[in-house]
Homo-oligomer: A and B are copies of this chain.
C-alpha cells in the first residue's frame, strides 16, 4: 500500500493538519516541524495521490488555446488535434477552449490575453506573435501564476513555461542537407518556393537552408525564393516559368504550402530534380509514395497538441514534467517510413 498523509503524520508525530499545511504551504509552520514532516515523507516515499487531490479540490482545469485563424492548413490541423486530444482529457477533468484569432495580429492576441478573467482559466497555450503588448500581457499572466505555453512560434524563454515547436532554422538546415545529398555532386541551382517570406518560420527555414548549402554544398546555388502565398495556381505558374527560364535547376525546396501547384508543374515536364517539401498531408503522402517528391519534413501537429496539453496539466498539478517527453522533433519522411 502506498503511504498516505495519515502515515506521514503518524511517522512525523504531528497531526494531519500539519502535514496538510506543509504539503500545501498554508499557514506558517515552524521550520523544525516542516523538517520532521519532510523527513517522514522522504523516508516513507510518500507521493501525493494526484487523483484524490484533484477530486477534493473539485477542480476542473480550464485551458485556453489561442490559435491563428484563417485557412492555413497546418493551423487547422493543429486545432483539430487539440480538440481531439482534449476530448480524451475530459475524463480527467480538463476543459479546453480553442479560440481562433486573426493571424499575425499582435493587437488581437494582446486583447485576448488581457481579457482572461482571473479564476476562469488555469493555463494558456498560444502561437506567439512577438510584440511589446503581447510580451506585457504574457508577463501579467505569469505574475498571476498562470502557466503559459508557446506553440509553434516562441517568445522570449523567460516569459513562458515551455515552448512546443521546432527550430525552423534547423528544419531548413535539415532540408538543405537532405537535398544537398540527394543532388549527389551535381552542379546547378536550387529553386526555393515559400508561402511568404514575411512569415517568420518560412524566413527561418530559408535561412537554415542557405546556411547548409553555402557551407556544405558549394556546387548548389539556391535561387531567390518564389513567393506563392500558399496558392497552388500561383505556385504552378511561377514555378513553370522559372523552370522554363532556368536550365540548370537541379533541386527544389518547398518551404510552405501550395505544393499541389508544384507537383502539377513538374508533372507536365519529363523528369524532375530532387524535391523536398514541408508538412505531411494526404497529398504529400501520396506524392511521396508515387515518387513525385523525395522527402517530407514535418513537425507533428498531433504531438504538438498533446505536448502542449500535457505540459499545462503537469504544470497546473505542480508536477515536474519531463521536458524531453514534451519536445517535438523535426521529422524526415521518405516513402518507406511514413506513419
Contacts and interface: CB of A to CB of B under 8 A. Distances in A.
Contacts of A173: 336-337
Interface in A80-98: 84-85, 88, 90-93
A171 interface: yes
A339 interface: yes
A325 B337 contact: no
A185 interface: yes
A50 interface: yes
Interface stretch (A25-33, A141-149, A175-183): A175-183
A67 B48 CA distance: 29
A306 interface: yes
A332 B181 CA distance: 14
Contacts of A327: 339
Contacts of A2: 60, 90, 93
Nearest to A302: B324
A91 B319 contact: yes
A189 B82 CA distance: 48
A55 B60 contact: no
A184 interface: yes
Interface residues of A, number: 51
A174 B336 contact: yes
Give the number of times this chain occurs in the complex, counting copies.
2
B306 A325 contact: yes
Given A324-B302, A337-B171, A55 B51 contact: yes
A122 interface: no
B325 A332 contact: no
A9 B208 CA distance: 60
A3 B42 CA distance: 38
Given A181-B294, A325-B302, A49 B91 contact: yes
A181 B289 CA distance: 16
A184 B251 CA distance: 13
B55 A52 contact: yes
B331 A177 contact: no
A52 B54 CA distance: 9
A212 interface: yes
B47 A50 contact: no
B48 A51 contact: no
A82 B248 CA distance: 52
7 contacts: A2-B90, A47-B91, A51-B52, A51-B92, A174-B336, A177-B334, A184-B185
**Leading 5 A-B pairs by shortest Cβ distance:** A184-B184, A51-B51, A173-B336, A330-B337, A332-B332
Given A50-B92, A174-B337, A329-B337, 7 more contacts: A49-B91, A51-B52, A51-B93, A181-B294, A302-B324, A330-B336, A332-B337
